Amino acid sequence: MALLYVVVSGVVLTAVVLLTVFILRLFGILRHGSEYKPGQKGSVSVMVVAGSGGHTTEIVRLMGSLSRSYNPRHYVIADTDKMSEDKIRTFEAEREKSGLPSQFTIHRIPRSREVRQSWSSSVLSSLSALMSSVPLVFRLQPDMVLCNGPGTCVPLCAAGLLLGILGLKRVLIVYVESICRVETLSLSGKILYYFSDYFFVQWATLKDKYPKAIYVGRLV
């Protein structure tokens, strides 16, 4: 019995220590995120999270306003998304015609949550998305994750934070809330508001409610 007590105590103590280190690392990353400037050493490898419908339209417009320094571009879409890949390929083809570098890849992961999906079942689908996101982000090791609201972005941002927590690479999290969000944040926005390095909103009413947010007018 005494041996069992020692073993259990050791496991609990180890878990507490690891959890404490994890929290401190996460706090340090979030606290000093704005000091990280990936573009200072050349091009910026960016992971772009595209949702279906309006989310993809907005993120493509946003990509069109970025400089040639954001290269390569790794687009990530949900495996049930039937339209985003065509929009992305059209955008990249037009970009190449204009003489800009067009180095990009497209990847698919399970969708975190479908429209009208129950919250109970969305837990399992979110875990599935996270299991696919971690190896993808660890393999690509982007300098930045850029997203604008689709549920798919949450596990990808979590994987990016994990890279930093483990000391493998600092990944900048940039979130741009959708233009259609005027009074309240999306669910993804409510989560990533606390973990993103730069959190942009496109309406002054949201800036008033969320002081950490950055408001510079309409972006898309």
Report percent pLDDT > 70 for the chain: 77
Q: What is the mean pLDDT of residues 58-67?
A: 92
Q: What is the mean pLDDT of residues 58-62?
A: 94
**What is the total count of domains within the chain?**
1
The answer to whether position 27 is within a domain reads no
Span 36-57, pLDDT tens digits? 566 666 789 999 999 877 889 9
Q: What is the mean pLDDT of residues 19-30?
A: 52
Q: How confident is the model at residue 121 (pLDDT cuts 50, 70, 90)?
A: low
In this prediction, residue 13 carries a pLDDT of 41
What are the Cα distances from residue 63, in Å, to 20, 33, 103, 133, 198?
A: 38, 22, 13, 22, 16
Give me the numbers of helices (H) and strands (E) for the chain, helices first please.
7, 7
In this prediction, residue 115 carries a pLDDT of 61
Q: How confident is the model at residue 150 (pLDDT cuts 50, 70, 90)?
A: confident
Q: Which residue range is the domain that position 144 belongs to?
A: 44-215
Q: What is the mean pLDDT of residues 102-123?
A: 78
Report the chain's mean pLDDT, rounded to a whole number: 83
In this prediction, residue 21 carries a pLDDT of 46
Structure tokens, 27: 């706090």
CA distance 133 to 30: 20
CATH number for the domain harbouring residue 72: 3.40.50.2000
Q: Any idea of the CA torsion for 90, 95, 98, 102, to the nearest 10 degrees?
A: -120
The answer to whether position 127 is within a domain reads yes
The answer to whether position 21 is within a domain reads no
In this prediction, residue 194 carries a pLDDT of 95
